[in-house]
Amino acid sequence: MKQNIRKYFKEYQWPDIMAMIRNNRSAPAICRERFNGKLVVITGATSGVGYVTAKKFAAQGANLLCINRNQEKSERLRQEIEADFGVKCDYRIADLSNLQDVFRVSEELRQWPAAIDVIIHNAGVYLTKRELTPEGFEKTFMVHYLASFVLTHRLMEKFKAQGSGRVILVGSEGHRFAVWGLDTDDLHWEKRRYSGLKSYGSAKTAQLLSMLIFNDQFEGTGVTINTMHPGEVKTDTGQENGRLYRWFKKHIFDKTLKPAEISADALYYLGVSDEVSQVSGKFFNLTTRENPAPPAADREVAKKLWKITLAMTGLDSETGFSGSESNTLQNTGK
């Protein structure tokens, strides 16, 4: 990590930091184009940003395929969307903290008969204490990074065959909490003291780094991939944490936040507007392009993380994750 401090210290620029502060006060650009009959996949669509985004796209004529954890909430969402907007709203149940679930639902998406016009990786989690997934991954890293990586990787050929499509990662300015970048030797926080902010920042940094390599993979195919910060908006993230955290969030932090509808407006713009149809590999604060923190733009680390992730998930063998990669995990930062 000391080496990272020396590496990135001179790369931080005050104009970039001031731009972030200024952009946090800006409203998103608005797209008024319709999206009739197009298919939009959204993860985590039963609450918060995902819920209002699903309604935004449906109101503009898009059909939806939502990837959620909860059957009852998903069915309620389906009925509401179809009744209110007259579009088709399918859903699949998957726990994105479970890698086997991610592979299962990714295969269903690969086989989906219709073209996927937009996929929005929105599902997220914020934890104040370290938790592990069934496969032994740190949970924040799994939900924010590994899940979106596996889904995008397994859909690459489908998107390329379509010759079009937009991949949107709901990232965060919180990637800046990983001030000195990723520790690729300790991605699951076994050697360091766990911090909710730093873990979240690391996962979001990893997401941005993966975008760089995915963008290379999509070059010349008509497919784009971008990451957006959804603004300082009120969501249900953090409900897994203790009573004190939930009280603080509800009575203090949430009162300073904006409604999630501005995130939906931004995601609709990035998913539909012709103005960004050829823009790829970029980070947006809502709809304003912004330079991410230096560790999130390090292509050397991005390539290293890409290889680690392929091994960690079993994607390098093209067989998927079967729960038998424990030896691989030990050699790739687990």
Q: What is the pLDDT of residues 284-309, one digit of tens each?
A: 999 999 999 999 999 999 999 999 99
Place 320 in a pLDDT band, splitting at 50, 70 and 90: very low
Half-sphere exposure of 193 (CA within 13 A, CB side): 0
Where are the domains positioned within the chain?
14-298
pLDDT at 59: 98
Place 310 in a pLDDT band, splitting at 50, 70 and 90: very high
Alpha helices in the chain (DSSP H): 2-8, 14-23, 48-59, 71-85, 99-110, 139-141, 147-162, 196-218, 243-248, 261-272, 299-313, 326-330
Look up tokens 């909490």; give the residue.
177
DSSP state for residue 86 in the 8-state scheme = -
Mean pLDDT for the stretch of residues 158-163: 97
pLDDT at 242: 53
On average, the pLDDT of the chain sits at 89
Alpha helices in 127-257 (DSSP H): 139-141, 147-162, 196-218, 243-248
Neighbouring CB atoms inside 10 A of 19's CB total 16
Half-sphere exposure of 217 (CA within 13 A, CB side): 18
Mean pLDDT for the stretch of residues 49-57: 97
251 pLDDT above the threshold of 60 = no
Place 10 in a pLDDT band, splitting at 50, 70 and 90: confident
325 pLDDT above the threshold of 80 = no
1 pLDDT above the threshold of 90 = no
Place 2 in a pLDDT band, splitting at 50, 70 and 90: low
pLDDT at 236: 59
pLDDT at 239: 54
Lowest pLDDT segment from 5-19, 68-82, 121-135, 233-247: 233-247
What distance in Å separates the CA atoms of residue 128 and residue 240, rounded to the nearest whole number?
A: 9
Place 240 in a pLDDT band, splitting at 50, 70 and 90: low
Mean pLDDT for the stretch of residues 256-267: 83
pLDDT at 253: 43
How distant is the alpha carbon of residue 2 from its chain centre?
28
Question: Side by side, which strands form the sheet with 63-68?
Answer: 89-93, 63-68, 39-43, 118-121, 165-170, 223-229, 283-285, 288-290
Q: Which residue has the higher pLDDT, 150 or 7?
A: 150
Task: Give the torsion sign (CA, 77, 79, 85, 87).
Answer: positive
Whether pTM > 0.85 for this model: the answer is: yes
**Architecture (CATH level 2) of domain 14-298:** 3-Layer(aba) Sandwich (3.40)
Place 14 in a pLDDT band, splitting at 50, 70 and 90: confident
Answer yes or no: are the C-beta atoms of 38 and 165 closer than 8 Å: no
pLDDT at 9: 86
pLDDT at 259: 75
334 pLDDT above the threshold of 90 = no
Mean pLDDT for the stretch of residues 223-231: 94
Segment 62-95, tens digit of pLDDT = 999 999 999 999 999 999 999 999 999 999 999 9
Place 232 in a pLDDT band, splitting at 50, 70 and 90: low
